[in-house]
Amino acid sequence: MKLPSVEEIERAGPITRGFVVWYAVFGGLGAWTVHLVSSAAIVRWLSNIHEGHWPLDVITAVCVVATLLALYLSWRLYRVARGADESGADDAGQLLFLSYLGLLFNVINLALIVIEGAYSVALFQHHALR
């Protein structure tokens, strides 16, 4: 798949640019927030009805996929803008800086989602054994 140029990304419409740039940077944060809130909201209900923890697994899987997509888009931004000066005021430098942020944010949020998924299942099983 051909990578777009910096100019193509900058000239893209607001929806395309929002997805390619801003989802790449903040998509993992949104996925982690959804995972945290939805897991906290559903775990007590699941333990009360004793139907298993598969909804928590589904939520975790969906959020992991959403974060991996954001991580991939951040990596693409890095590949498009690499070699630019990230402290520069030009478009390539700004995209390179945003790609660094996206890579960092998405790796951290991916770890948080996986850890929370394992923790909520462990809590669920501990409560079920009581």
Q: Which of 81, 75, 68, 76 is nearest to 111 (CA)?
A: 68
12 has a pLDDT exceeding 90: no
- Residues with Cβ within 8 Å of residue 90, at least 6 apart in sequence: 84
DSSP 87: T
128 has a pLDDT exceeding 70: no
Q: What is the pLDDT of residue 108?
A: 98
Higher pLDDT, 119 or 110: 110
Q: What is the pLDDT of residue 52?
A: 73
Q: What is the pLDDT of residue 130?
A: 57
1 has a pLDDT exceeding 70: no
Identify whether the C-beta of residue 106 lies closer than 8 Å to the C-beta of residue 71.
yes
pLDDT single digits (tens) 26-81: 999 999 999 999 988 887 787 777 677 788 889 999 999 999 999 999 999 999 88
